[in-house]
Structure 1
Amino acid sequence: MTDRPVIAGVDGSDDALKAVRWATSEAARRHARLTLLLVNDDPARAEYAQQAVQKAARACTAQEPGIEVVSEVAEGHPVEELLRRSEHAQMLVLGARGHGGFTDALLGGVSTAVATHAACPVVVVRRSIPTSVGPVVVGVDGSASSTRALEFAFESAARTSAELVVLQAWHEEGLLTELIPAPDPEQVQREVERSVTEQTAQLREQHPQVRTREVVLHEHPVAALTNAARDARLLVVGHRGRGGFETLFLGSVASGVLHHAPCPVAVVRMP
Protein backbone atom coordinates (compact mmCIF):
# COMPACT_ATOMS: atom_id res chain seq x y z
CA MET A 1 0.00 0.00 0.00
CA THR A 2 1.32 3.45 -0.96
CA ASP A 3 1.66 6.21 1.63
CA ARG A 4 -0.13 8.70 -0.61
CA PRO A 5 -3.91 8.40 -0.20
CA VAL A 6 -6.79 8.85 -2.58
CA ILE A 7 -8.74 11.79 -1.15
CA ALA A 8 -12.47 12.20 -1.71
CA GLY A 9 -14.17 15.47 -0.90
CA VAL A 10 -17.31 15.15 1.20
CA ASP A 11 -20.02 17.74 1.85
CA GLY A 12 -23.15 15.68 2.39
CA SER A 13 -24.49 16.20 -1.15
CA ASP A 14 -25.59 13.40 -3.48
CA ASP A 15 -22.88 14.40 -5.96
CA ALA A 16 -20.23 14.05 -3.29
CA LEU A 17 -21.53 10.61 -2.30
CA LYS A 18 -21.27 9.45 -5.93
CA ALA A 19 -17.70 10.75 -5.96
CA VAL A 20 -16.96 8.88 -2.73
CA ARG A 21 -18.20 5.62 -4.23
CA TRP A 22 -16.05 6.14 -7.33
CA ALA A 23 -13.05 6.95 -5.12
CA THR A 24 -13.65 3.82 -3.06
CA SER A 25 -13.34 1.58 -6.11
CA GLU A 26 -10.27 3.47 -7.31
CA ALA A 27 -8.54 3.28 -3.93
CA ALA A 28 -9.19 -0.46 -3.79
CA ARG A 29 -7.65 -0.91 -7.25
CA ARG A 30 -4.63 1.14 -6.23
CA HIS A 31 -4.30 -0.62 -2.83
CA ALA A 32 -4.34 2.87 -1.35
CA ARG A 33 -5.76 4.40 1.78
CA LEU A 34 -8.95 6.37 1.18
CA THR A 35 -9.29 9.66 3.04
CA LEU A 36 -12.76 11.18 3.27
CA LEU A 37 -12.30 14.89 3.83
CA LEU A 38 -14.94 17.45 4.69
CA VAL A 39 -13.62 20.99 4.97
CA ASN A 40 -15.97 22.95 7.18
CA ASP A 41 -15.91 26.75 7.07
CA ASP A 42 -18.90 27.19 9.39
CA PRO A 43 -18.55 26.19 13.08
CA ALA A 44 -22.34 26.00 13.37
CA ARG A 45 -22.28 23.02 10.99
CA ALA A 46 -19.77 20.98 12.98
CA GLU A 47 -22.27 18.30 14.01
CA TYR A 48 -23.62 18.01 10.48
CA ALA A 49 -20.06 17.70 9.14
CA GLN A 50 -19.29 14.78 11.42
CA GLN A 51 -22.50 13.02 10.44
CA ALA A 52 -21.75 13.54 6.74
CA VAL A 53 -18.28 11.97 6.84
CA GLN A 54 -19.52 9.08 8.98
CA LYS A 55 -22.31 8.38 6.49
CA ALA A 56 -19.79 8.42 3.66
CA ALA A 57 -17.44 6.10 5.57
CA ARG A 58 -20.22 3.56 6.11
CA ALA A 59 -20.94 3.59 2.38
CA CYS A 60 -17.25 2.96 1.64
CA THR A 61 -16.84 -0.01 3.97
CA ALA A 62 -20.10 -1.54 2.75
CA GLN A 63 -18.82 -1.26 -0.83
CA GLU A 64 -15.24 -2.44 -0.16
CA PRO A 65 -15.08 -4.15 3.27
CA GLY A 66 -11.29 -4.53 3.21
CA ILE A 67 -10.40 -0.95 2.37
CA GLU A 68 -8.67 1.38 4.85
CA VAL A 69 -10.83 4.47 5.30
CA VAL A 70 -9.87 7.59 7.23
CA SER A 71 -12.65 10.10 7.95
CA GLU A 72 -11.66 13.66 8.70
CA VAL A 73 -13.31 17.03 9.25
CA ALA A 74 -10.94 19.95 8.77
CA GLU A 75 -11.60 23.61 9.43
CA GLY A 76 -10.80 26.22 6.84
CA HIS A 77 -11.54 27.24 3.28
CA PRO A 78 -12.50 24.18 1.16
CA VAL A 79 -10.44 25.11 -1.90
CA GLU A 80 -7.34 26.10 0.06
CA GLU A 81 -7.40 22.96 2.19
CA LEU A 82 -8.01 20.61 -0.74
CA LEU A 83 -5.15 22.20 -2.66
CA ARG A 84 -2.86 21.80 0.33
CA ARG A 85 -3.81 18.14 0.64
CA SER A 86 -3.29 17.58 -3.10
CA GLU A 87 0.46 17.97 -2.60
CA HIS A 88 0.53 14.67 -0.70
CA ALA A 89 -2.22 12.70 -2.49
CA GLN A 90 -2.31 10.30 -5.41
CA MET A 91 -5.60 11.76 -6.54
CA LEU A 92 -8.44 14.04 -5.48
CA VAL A 93 -12.00 12.96 -6.27
CA LEU A 94 -14.82 15.50 -6.14
CA GLY A 95 -18.47 15.75 -7.06
CA ALA A 96 -19.35 18.04 -9.93
CA ARG A 97 -21.63 20.09 -7.71
CA GLY A 98 -21.97 20.30 -3.96
CA HIS A 99 -24.16 22.28 -1.66
CA GLY A 100 -24.62 25.92 -2.48
CA GLY A 101 -24.62 25.51 -6.28
CA PHE A 102 -26.96 27.49 -8.51
CA THR A 103 -27.70 25.43 -11.63
CA ASP A 104 -26.63 22.14 -13.17
CA ALA A 105 -25.24 24.08 -16.12
CA LEU A 106 -22.36 25.43 -14.02
CA LEU A 107 -19.60 23.34 -12.54
CA GLY A 108 -19.25 23.82 -8.81
CA GLY A 109 -16.79 26.52 -7.81
CA VAL A 110 -14.79 24.20 -5.55
CA SER A 111 -14.40 21.53 -8.25
CA THR A 112 -13.31 24.06 -10.86
CA ALA A 113 -10.81 25.78 -8.59
CA VAL A 114 -9.29 22.52 -7.38
CA ALA A 115 -9.06 21.05 -10.89
CA THR A 116 -7.31 24.25 -11.97
CA HIS A 117 -4.66 24.38 -9.26
CA ALA A 118 -4.23 20.93 -7.64
CA ALA A 119 -0.80 19.32 -7.54
CA CYS A 120 -2.20 15.82 -8.23
CA PRO A 121 -4.75 14.49 -10.76
CA VAL A 122 -8.32 15.55 -10.01
CA VAL A 123 -11.33 13.42 -10.95
CA VAL A 124 -14.69 15.16 -11.11
CA VAL A 125 -17.69 12.81 -10.93
CA ARG A 126 -20.91 14.12 -12.42
CA ARG A 127 -24.50 13.49 -11.35
CA SER A 128 -25.00 10.50 -13.65
CA ILE A 129 -24.12 7.13 -12.12
CA PRO A 130 -20.56 6.24 -13.18
CA THR A 131 -20.25 3.01 -15.13
CA SER A 132 -17.72 0.24 -14.56
CA VAL A 133 -17.86 -0.78 -18.22
CA GLY A 134 -16.83 1.01 -21.37
CA PRO A 135 -13.45 2.39 -22.39
CA VAL A 136 -11.10 4.91 -20.88
CA VAL A 137 -10.95 7.86 -23.30
CA VAL A 138 -8.01 10.26 -23.38
CA GLY A 139 -7.64 13.44 -25.37
CA VAL A 140 -4.19 14.19 -26.81
CA ASP A 141 -2.65 17.01 -28.82
CA GLY A 142 1.09 16.36 -28.62
CA SER A 143 1.66 18.80 -25.75
CA ALA A 144 3.59 17.90 -22.61
CA SER A 145 0.38 18.11 -20.59
CA SER A 146 -1.40 15.63 -22.85
CA THR A 147 1.58 13.28 -22.64
CA ARG A 148 1.14 13.12 -18.88
CA ALA A 149 -2.61 12.59 -19.39
CA LEU A 150 -1.83 9.75 -21.79
CA GLU A 151 0.39 8.06 -19.20
CA PHE A 152 -2.37 8.39 -16.59
CA ALA A 153 -4.92 6.96 -19.03
CA PHE A 154 -2.77 3.92 -19.86
CA GLU A 155 -2.35 3.23 -16.15
CA SER A 156 -6.10 3.57 -15.55
CA ALA A 157 -6.96 1.28 -18.46
CA ALA A 158 -4.46 -1.31 -17.21
CA ARG A 159 -5.97 -1.28 -13.70
CA THR A 160 -9.52 -1.72 -14.97
CA SER A 161 -8.77 -4.04 -17.92
CA ALA A 162 -10.51 -1.49 -20.12
CA GLU A 163 -10.00 -0.58 -23.73
CA LEU A 164 -8.17 2.72 -24.19
CA VAL A 165 -9.41 5.16 -26.82
CA VAL A 166 -6.78 7.75 -27.72
CA LEU A 167 -8.50 10.65 -29.43
CA GLN A 168 -7.12 13.71 -31.14
CA ALA A 169 -9.48 16.20 -32.75
CA TRP A 170 -8.43 18.99 -35.06
CA HIS A 171 -10.06 21.87 -36.85
CA GLU A 172 -8.87 24.70 -39.06
CA GLU A 173 -8.55 27.15 -36.20
CA GLY A 174 -6.93 24.54 -33.98
CA LEU A 175 -3.57 23.14 -33.20
CA LEU A 176 -1.99 22.47 -36.57
CA THR A 177 -2.50 25.80 -38.30
CA GLU A 178 0.98 26.91 -37.29
CA LEU A 179 2.52 23.86 -38.96
CA ILE A 180 0.38 23.88 -42.10
CA PRO A 181 -0.62 27.47 -43.02
CA ALA A 182 -3.09 26.43 -45.73
CA PRO A 183 -4.05 22.94 -44.63
CA ASP A 184 -5.43 20.33 -46.94
CA PRO A 185 -7.89 18.26 -44.85
CA GLU A 186 -6.63 14.91 -46.09
CA GLN A 187 -3.02 15.89 -45.49
CA VAL A 188 -3.81 17.16 -41.98
CA GLN A 189 -5.71 13.97 -41.19
CA ARG A 190 -2.73 11.84 -42.21
CA GLU A 191 -0.31 14.01 -40.23
CA VAL A 192 -2.43 13.87 -37.09
CA GLU A 193 -2.89 10.10 -37.39
CA ARG A 194 0.88 9.71 -37.66
CA SER A 195 1.36 11.99 -34.66
CA VAL A 196 -1.07 10.00 -32.50
CA THR A 197 0.69 6.75 -33.37
CA GLU A 198 4.03 8.30 -32.39
CA GLN A 199 2.61 9.66 -29.13
CA THR A 200 1.34 6.24 -28.05
CA ALA A 201 4.18 4.03 -29.33
CA GLN A 202 6.30 3.87 -26.17
CA LEU A 203 3.33 3.48 -23.82
CA ARG A 204 1.86 0.70 -25.95
CA GLU A 205 5.15 -1.17 -25.52
CA GLN A 206 5.09 -0.57 -21.75
CA HIS A 207 1.46 -1.71 -21.42
CA PRO A 208 1.03 -4.55 -23.93
CA GLN A 209 -2.07 -5.79 -22.07
CA VAL A 210 -3.98 -2.59 -22.82
CA ARG A 211 -6.13 -2.71 -25.94
CA THR A 212 -5.77 0.66 -27.67
CA ARG A 213 -7.80 2.33 -30.37
CA GLU A 214 -6.60 5.54 -31.98
CA VAL A 215 -9.20 7.98 -33.28
CA VAL A 216 -8.57 11.19 -35.21
CA LEU A 217 -11.54 13.45 -35.94
CA HIS A 218 -11.97 16.64 -37.91
CA GLU A 219 -14.07 18.26 -35.20
CA HIS A 220 -13.83 20.63 -32.26
CA PRO A 221 -11.98 18.84 -29.40
CA VAL A 222 -14.63 19.54 -26.73
CA ALA A 223 -17.44 18.18 -28.91
CA ALA A 224 -15.39 15.16 -30.00
CA LEU A 225 -14.33 14.24 -26.46
CA THR A 226 -17.81 14.81 -25.02
CA ASN A 227 -19.34 12.52 -27.63
CA ALA A 228 -16.67 9.87 -27.10
CA ALA A 229 -17.29 9.99 -23.34
CA ARG A 230 -20.97 9.04 -23.57
CA ASP A 231 -20.24 5.35 -23.05
CA ALA A 232 -16.89 5.74 -21.26
CA ARG A 233 -15.97 4.89 -17.70
CA LEU A 234 -13.45 7.74 -17.55
CA LEU A 235 -12.35 10.67 -19.69
CA VAL A 236 -8.79 11.92 -19.21
CA VAL A 237 -7.52 15.32 -20.33
CA GLY A 238 -4.42 17.37 -19.71
CA HIS A 239 -4.61 20.49 -17.59
CA ARG A 240 -3.51 22.59 -20.56
CA GLY A 241 -2.91 21.78 -24.19
CA ARG A 242 -1.29 23.74 -26.97
CA GLY A 243 -2.08 27.41 -27.24
CA GLY A 244 -2.40 27.95 -23.47
CA PHE A 245 -1.39 31.16 -21.75
CA GLU A 246 -0.46 30.35 -18.15
CA THR A 247 -0.52 27.23 -16.04
CA LEU A 248 -2.68 29.08 -13.50
CA PHE A 249 -5.69 28.82 -15.80
CA LEU A 250 -7.58 25.73 -16.85
CA GLY A 251 -7.34 25.04 -20.57
CA SER A 252 -10.43 25.56 -22.72
CA VAL A 253 -10.68 21.87 -23.63
CA ALA A 254 -10.33 20.69 -20.05
CA SER A 255 -12.84 23.28 -18.89
CA GLY A 256 -15.25 22.38 -21.69
CA VAL A 257 -15.31 18.65 -21.00
CA LEU A 258 -15.61 19.24 -17.25
CA HIS A 259 -18.83 21.11 -17.94
CA HIS A 260 -20.27 18.79 -20.58
CA ALA A 261 -18.87 15.24 -20.42
CA PRO A 262 -21.34 12.73 -18.90
CA CYS A 263 -18.72 10.44 -17.34
CA PRO A 264 -16.09 11.10 -14.63
CA VAL A 265 -13.37 13.41 -15.93
CA ALA A 266 -9.74 13.25 -14.80
CA VAL A 267 -7.73 16.47 -15.19
CA VAL A 268 -4.00 15.72 -15.13
CA ARG A 269 -1.37 18.41 -14.88
CA MET A 270 2.39 18.27 -15.15
CA PRO A 271 4.23 17.42 -11.90
Structure 2
Amino acid sequence: MARSKQSVVVGVDGSESSVQAALWAAAEAARLAVPAHLVLVNDDPAREDFAKQAVRDIAERCHREYPELTITDEVAVGHPAEELVRRSDTAQLVVVGSRGHGVFRDALLGAISTSVAAHARCPVVVVRGHATVPGPVVVGVDNSPGSRIAVHYAFDAASRRQTDLVAVQALPDAYFTVGAYPAPDRQEIQNRADLHLAEQLSGWCADYPDVTVHREVANQHPVSTLCDAARQAQLLVVGHRGRGGFAGLLLGSVANGVLHHAPCPVAVIRTGAP
Protein backbone atom coordinates (compact mmCIF):
# COMPACT_ATOMS: atom_id res chain seq x y z
CA MET A 1 0.00 0.00 0.00
CA ALA A 2 2.85 2.42 0.70
CA ARG A 3 4.31 4.73 -1.91
CA SER A 4 7.13 5.82 0.36
CA LYS A 5 8.80 8.33 -1.97
CA GLN A 6 5.65 10.05 -3.13
CA SER A 7 3.77 12.95 -1.61
CA VAL A 8 0.32 13.81 -0.39
CA VAL A 9 -1.06 16.23 -2.99
CA VAL A 10 -3.72 18.70 -1.88
CA GLY A 11 -5.69 20.98 -4.14
CA VAL A 12 -6.22 24.48 -2.73
CA ASP A 13 -7.91 27.62 -4.01
CA GLY A 14 -7.73 30.07 -1.13
CA SER A 15 -11.14 29.11 0.28
CA GLU A 16 -11.52 28.13 3.93
CA SER A 17 -12.56 24.65 2.81
CA SER A 18 -9.26 24.24 1.00
CA VAL A 19 -7.33 25.55 4.02
CA GLN A 20 -8.92 22.84 6.16
CA ALA A 21 -8.11 20.28 3.47
CA ALA A 22 -4.48 21.43 3.44
CA LEU A 23 -4.17 21.15 7.23
CA TRP A 24 -5.72 17.68 7.13
CA ALA A 25 -3.36 16.68 4.32
CA ALA A 26 -0.34 17.98 6.24
CA ALA A 27 -1.32 15.91 9.28
CA GLU A 28 -1.73 12.82 7.11
CA ALA A 29 1.59 13.43 5.35
CA ALA A 30 3.26 13.65 8.76
CA ARG A 31 1.74 10.29 9.72
CA LEU A 32 2.92 8.76 6.45
CA ALA A 33 6.36 10.40 6.73
CA VAL A 34 6.10 11.79 3.19
CA PRO A 35 6.11 15.39 1.87
CA ALA A 36 2.96 17.43 1.36
CA HIS A 37 2.57 19.28 -1.93
CA LEU A 38 0.01 22.10 -2.26
CA VAL A 39 -1.28 22.82 -5.75
CA LEU A 40 -3.40 25.79 -6.75
CA VAL A 41 -4.60 25.38 -10.31
CA ASN A 42 -5.17 28.79 -11.85
CA ASP A 43 -7.18 29.11 -15.06
CA ASP A 44 -7.10 32.92 -15.15
CA PRO A 45 -3.76 34.66 -15.93
CA ALA A 46 -5.08 37.88 -14.40
CA ARG A 47 -5.20 36.18 -10.99
CA GLU A 48 -1.62 34.88 -11.09
CA ASP A 49 -0.35 37.15 -8.29
CA PHE A 50 -3.34 36.31 -6.08
CA ALA A 51 -2.86 32.61 -6.75
CA LYS A 52 0.81 32.67 -5.78
CA GLN A 53 0.11 34.57 -2.57
CA ALA A 54 -2.84 32.34 -1.65
CA VAL A 55 -0.96 29.06 -1.99
CA ARG A 56 2.05 30.55 -0.18
CA ASP A 57 -0.12 31.69 2.74
CA ILE A 58 -1.70 28.26 3.10
CA ALA A 59 1.69 26.55 2.93
CA GLU A 60 3.00 28.83 5.68
CA ARG A 61 0.00 28.04 7.86
CA CYS A 62 0.59 24.30 7.40
CA HIS A 63 4.28 24.74 8.18
CA ARG A 64 3.45 26.49 11.46
CA GLU A 65 1.34 23.51 12.46
CA TYR A 66 3.86 20.89 11.24
CA PRO A 67 7.33 22.49 11.28
CA GLU A 68 9.15 19.19 10.70
CA LEU A 69 7.16 18.35 7.58
CA THR A 70 8.51 19.02 4.09
CA ILE A 71 5.87 21.21 2.43
CA THR A 72 6.08 22.50 -1.13
CA ASP A 73 3.65 24.67 -3.05
CA GLU A 74 2.96 25.39 -6.69
CA VAL A 75 0.66 27.35 -8.96
CA ALA A 76 -0.26 25.25 -12.00
CA VAL A 77 -2.16 26.20 -15.14
CA GLY A 78 -5.18 24.30 -16.39
CA HIS A 79 -8.50 22.93 -15.20
CA PRO A 80 -8.39 22.16 -11.45
CA ALA A 81 -10.03 18.73 -11.58
CA GLU A 82 -8.10 17.58 -14.64
CA GLU A 83 -4.79 18.71 -13.18
CA LEU A 84 -5.38 17.04 -9.80
CA VAL A 85 -6.41 13.82 -11.54
CA ARG A 86 -3.23 13.97 -13.59
CA ARG A 87 -1.21 14.39 -10.38
CA SER A 88 -2.92 11.32 -8.93
CA ASP A 89 -0.79 9.12 -11.20
CA THR A 90 2.25 9.77 -9.02
CA ALA A 91 0.71 10.84 -5.69
CA GLN A 92 0.29 8.61 -2.67
CA LEU A 93 -2.92 10.44 -1.81
CA VAL A 94 -4.91 13.37 -3.21
CA VAL A 95 -6.83 15.58 -0.78
CA VAL A 96 -9.50 18.16 -1.66
CA GLY A 97 -12.00 20.25 0.26
CA SER A 98 -15.71 19.69 -0.03
CA ARG A 99 -16.38 23.21 -1.33
CA GLY A 100 -14.37 25.89 -3.06
CA HIS A 101 -14.84 29.21 -4.79
CA GLY A 102 -17.19 27.84 -7.43
CA VAL A 103 -20.32 29.61 -8.61
CA PHE A 104 -22.58 27.10 -6.84
CA ARG A 105 -21.07 27.60 -3.41
CA ASP A 106 -24.17 26.25 -1.66
CA ALA A 107 -23.90 22.87 -3.38
CA LEU A 108 -23.41 19.98 -0.98
CA LEU A 109 -20.24 18.96 -2.77
CA GLY A 110 -18.21 20.98 -5.21
CA ALA A 111 -17.94 19.80 -8.81
CA ILE A 112 -14.14 19.66 -8.58
CA SER A 113 -14.18 17.43 -5.49
CA THR A 114 -16.71 15.07 -7.07
CA SER A 115 -14.74 14.84 -10.31
CA VAL A 116 -11.43 14.18 -8.55
CA ALA A 117 -12.97 11.46 -6.38
CA ALA A 118 -14.51 9.84 -9.45
CA HIS A 119 -11.46 9.90 -11.72
CA ALA A 120 -8.31 9.92 -9.58
CA ARG A 121 -6.03 6.91 -9.84
CA CYS A 122 -4.95 6.90 -6.19
CA PRO A 123 -6.91 7.20 -2.93
CA VAL A 124 -8.77 10.51 -2.54
CA VAL A 125 -9.87 12.15 0.68
CA VAL A 126 -12.60 14.80 0.58
CA VAL A 127 -12.32 16.83 3.77
CA ARG A 128 -15.73 17.76 5.07
CA GLY A 129 -17.51 18.00 8.42
CA HIS A 130 -15.48 17.73 11.63
CA ALA A 131 -11.98 17.08 10.37
CA THR A 132 -10.18 16.93 13.74
CA VAL A 133 -12.39 14.76 15.95
CA PRO A 134 -10.27 12.06 17.69
CA GLY A 135 -12.74 9.26 16.96
CA PRO A 136 -12.48 5.89 15.21
CA VAL A 137 -12.01 5.09 11.54
CA VAL A 138 -15.21 3.75 9.94
CA VAL A 139 -15.20 1.52 6.85
CA GLY A 140 -18.01 0.16 4.72
CA VAL A 141 -17.83 -3.57 4.01
CA ASP A 142 -19.81 -5.48 1.36
CA ASN A 143 -17.39 -8.21 0.16
CA SER A 144 -16.85 -6.52 -3.21
CA PRO A 145 -13.31 -6.09 -4.59
CA GLY A 146 -13.51 -2.35 -3.88
CA SER A 147 -14.63 -3.01 -0.34
CA ARG A 148 -11.74 -5.39 0.34
CA ILE A 149 -9.21 -2.76 -0.76
CA ALA A 150 -11.02 -0.13 1.31
CA VAL A 151 -10.83 -2.41 4.38
CA HIS A 152 -7.06 -2.71 3.94
CA TYR A 153 -6.75 1.07 3.70
CA ALA A 154 -8.97 1.53 6.76
CA PHE A 155 -6.93 -0.85 8.91
CA ASP A 156 -3.78 0.97 7.87
CA ALA A 157 -5.35 4.34 8.66
CA ALA A 158 -6.57 3.19 12.08
CA SER A 159 -3.15 1.75 12.91
CA ARG A 160 -1.41 5.02 11.98
CA ARG A 161 -3.85 6.97 14.13
CA GLN A 162 -3.71 4.47 17.00
CA THR A 163 -7.48 4.37 17.09
CA ASP A 164 -10.31 1.85 16.77
CA LEU A 165 -11.86 0.63 13.55
CA VAL A 166 -15.62 0.33 13.06
CA ALA A 167 -16.54 -2.05 10.22
CA VAL A 168 -20.09 -1.51 8.97
CA GLN A 169 -22.20 -3.74 6.77
CA ALA A 170 -25.76 -2.94 5.72
CA LEU A 171 -28.15 -5.88 5.38
CA PRO A 172 -30.22 -6.10 2.17
CA ASP A 173 -33.71 -4.74 2.84
CA ALA A 174 -35.19 -7.66 0.90
CA TYR A 175 -34.47 -10.00 3.80
CA PHE A 176 -36.99 -8.10 5.90
CA THR A 177 -39.65 -7.51 3.26
CA VAL A 178 -43.04 -8.97 4.10
CA GLY A 179 -44.08 -11.40 1.37
CA ALA A 180 -45.89 -14.61 0.62
CA TYR A 181 -43.15 -16.73 2.14
CA PRO A 182 -42.48 -17.14 5.85
CA ALA A 183 -40.31 -14.31 7.09
CA PRO A 184 -36.82 -15.46 8.13
CA ASP A 185 -35.79 -15.10 11.73
CA ARG A 186 -34.32 -11.62 12.17
CA GLN A 187 -31.85 -12.66 14.83
CA GLU A 188 -30.62 -15.52 12.68
CA ILE A 189 -30.04 -13.11 9.78
CA GLN A 190 -28.23 -10.75 12.11
CA ASN A 191 -26.03 -13.53 13.46
CA ARG A 192 -25.18 -14.84 10.00
CA ALA A 193 -24.35 -11.35 8.75
CA ASP A 194 -22.15 -10.65 11.74
CA LEU A 195 -20.33 -13.96 11.23
CA HIS A 196 -19.82 -13.19 7.55
CA LEU A 197 -18.50 -9.73 8.44
CA ALA A 198 -16.10 -11.25 10.97
CA GLU A 199 -14.82 -13.65 8.30
CA GLN A 200 -14.12 -10.76 5.92
CA LEU A 201 -12.11 -8.99 8.62
CA SER A 202 -10.27 -11.93 10.17
CA GLY A 203 -7.17 -11.79 7.98
CA TRP A 204 -6.74 -8.06 8.49
CA CYS A 205 -7.26 -8.42 12.24
CA ALA A 206 -4.32 -10.82 12.29
CA ASP A 207 -2.18 -8.40 10.27
CA TYR A 208 -3.09 -5.42 12.48
CA PRO A 209 -3.24 -6.78 16.06
CA ASP A 210 -2.91 -3.24 17.42
CA VAL A 211 -6.29 -2.19 15.95
CA THR A 212 -9.41 -2.83 18.02
CA VAL A 213 -12.27 -3.70 15.67
CA HIS A 214 -15.98 -3.16 16.25
CA ARG A 215 -18.51 -4.76 13.90
CA GLU A 216 -21.88 -3.23 13.06
CA VAL A 217 -24.61 -4.85 10.97
CA ALA A 218 -27.66 -2.72 10.22
CA ASN A 219 -30.93 -3.03 8.32
CA GLN A 220 -30.67 0.39 6.68
CA HIS A 221 -29.54 1.86 3.42
CA PRO A 222 -25.71 1.73 3.27
CA VAL A 223 -25.36 5.52 2.98
CA SER A 224 -27.53 6.15 6.05
CA THR A 225 -25.80 3.39 7.98
CA LEU A 226 -22.30 4.68 7.20
CA CYS A 227 -23.15 8.31 7.89
CA ASP A 228 -24.73 7.39 11.23
CA ALA A 229 -21.68 5.33 12.19
CA ALA A 230 -19.37 8.19 11.21
CA ARG A 231 -20.95 10.83 13.45
CA GLN A 232 -18.07 10.59 15.91
CA ALA A 233 -15.47 9.30 13.44
CA GLN A 234 -12.32 11.01 12.22
CA LEU A 235 -12.39 9.25 8.85
CA LEU A 236 -14.91 7.28 6.78
CA VAL A 237 -13.48 4.89 4.19
CA VAL A 238 -15.46 3.51 1.24
CA GLY A 239 -14.68 1.66 -1.96
CA HIS A 240 -14.93 3.52 -5.26
CA ARG A 241 -17.64 1.07 -6.29
CA GLY A 242 -19.36 -1.71 -4.40
CA ARG A 243 -22.03 -4.25 -5.20
CA GLY A 244 -25.27 -3.43 -6.92
CA GLY A 245 -24.08 -0.36 -8.83
CA PHE A 246 -24.39 0.42 -12.51
CA ALA A 247 -21.16 -0.45 -14.32
CA GLY A 248 -21.27 2.79 -16.30
CA LEU A 249 -21.22 5.05 -13.28
CA LEU A 250 -17.89 6.73 -12.59
CA LEU A 251 -18.52 6.72 -8.86
CA GLY A 252 -20.60 4.15 -7.01
CA SER A 253 -23.88 5.24 -5.44
CA VAL A 254 -22.68 4.55 -1.89
CA ALA A 255 -19.42 6.45 -2.37
CA ASN A 256 -21.29 9.32 -4.00
CA GLY A 257 -23.89 9.35 -1.25
CA VAL A 258 -21.44 9.51 1.66
CA LEU A 259 -19.40 12.18 -0.13
CA HIS A 260 -22.49 14.38 -0.05
CA HIS A 261 -23.73 13.57 3.44
CA ALA A 262 -20.95 12.22 5.69
CA PRO A 263 -20.18 14.27 8.82
CA CYS A 264 -16.42 13.72 8.57
CA PRO A 265 -13.63 13.40 5.97
CA VAL A 266 -14.26 10.62 3.43
CA ALA A 267 -11.58 8.47 1.79
CA VAL A 268 -12.58 6.94 -1.56
CA ILE A 269 -10.42 3.94 -2.47
CA ARG A 270 -10.66 2.62 -6.00
CA THR A 271 -9.91 -0.95 -7.07
CA GLY A 272 -6.27 -1.19 -7.99
CA ALA A 273 -5.27 1.74 -5.76
CA PRO A 274 -2.19 1.04 -3.65
For the criterion TM > 0.5, the same-fold answer is yes
Matched, 1:220 2:221: yes
> Using the alignment, how far apart are the partners of 1:72 and 1:170 within structure 2?
46
Tell me the amino acid that sits aligned with residue 121 of structure 1: P
Q: Deviations over 1:81-116 (max 9, x none)?
A: 111100111111100000014254421000001101
Instruction: Note if contact 1:124-1:265 (Cα within 8 Å) is conserved in structure 2.
Output: yes
Instruction: Note if contact 1:79-1:113 (Cα within 8 Å) is conserved in structure 2.
Output: yes
| Cα offset, 1:41, TM superposition | 1.0
Q: Which residue of 1 aligns with 2:190?
A: 189
> Using the alignment, how far apart are the partners of 1:2 and 1:12 within structure 2?
28
Instruction: Note if contact 2:41-2:76 (Cα within 8 Å) is conserved in structure 1.
Output: yes
Tell me the amino acid that sits aligned with residue 161 of structure 1: Q
Q: Which residue of 2 aligns with 1:9?
A: 11
Q: Which residue of 1 aligns with 2:238?
A: 237
> Using the alignment, how far apart are the partners of 1:51 and 1:182 within structure 2?
68
> Using the alignment, how far apart are the partners of 1:182 and 1:7 within structure 2?
54
SS of the residue 1:58 aligns to: helix
Q: Deviations over 1:178-236 (max 9, x none)?
A: xxx98723333222212110110000000000011111111111111111111100000
Tell me the amino acid that sits aligned with residue 220 of structure 2: E
Q: Which residue of 2 aligns with 1:156?
A: 157
SS of the residue 1:241 aligns to: coil
Instruction: Note if contact 2:139-2:238 (Cα within 8 Å) is conserved in structure 1.
Output: yes
Q: Which residue of 2 aligns with 1:30?
A: 32
1:192-207 alignment runs, 5 A limit: 192-207=193-208
What residue ranges of structure 1 are gaps of 5+ in the alignment? none
| Cα offset, 1:251, TM superposition | 0.8
> Using the alignment, how far apart are the partners of 2:120 and 2:183 within structure 1?
37
Residue identity (%): 50
> Residue 65 of structure 2: which of 60, 63, 66 is its match?
63
Deviates more, 1:164-173 or 1:65-74: 164-173
Do the aligned partners of residues 252 and 105 (structure 1) sit closer, same or farther apart at CA in structure 2, a change above 3 Å counting? same
1:1-271 alignment runs, 5 A limit: 2-126=4-128, 128-173=129-174, 184=184, 185-246=186-247, 248-271=249-272
TM-score (norm 1): 0.93
Instruction: Note if contact 2:234-2:264 (Cα within 8 Å) is conserved in structure 1.
Output: yes
SS of the residue 1:107 aligns to: coil
| Cα offset, 1:147, TM superposition | 0.4
SS of the residue 1:106 aligns to: coil
Do the aligned partners of residues 247 and 200 (structure 1) sit closer, same or farther apart at CA in structure 2, a change above 3 Å counting? farther
TM-score (norm 2): 0.92
> Using the alignment, how far apart are the partners of 2:182 and 2:45 within structure 1?
61
Tell me the amino acid that sits aligned with residue 84 of structure 2: L
Instruction: Note if contact 2:26-2:66 (Cα within 8 Å) is conserved in structure 1.
Output: yes
> Using the alignment, how far apart are the partners of 1:262 and 1:101 within structure 2?
23
Tell me the amino acid that sits aligned with residue 231 of structure 1: Q
Do the aligned partners of residues 182 and 106 (structure 1) sit closer, same or farther apart at CA in structure 2, a change above 3 Å counting? farther
| Cα offset, 1:131, TM superposition | 2.0
Do the aligned partners of residues 234 and 168 (structure 1) sit closer, same or farther apart at CA in structure 2, a change above 3 Å counting? same
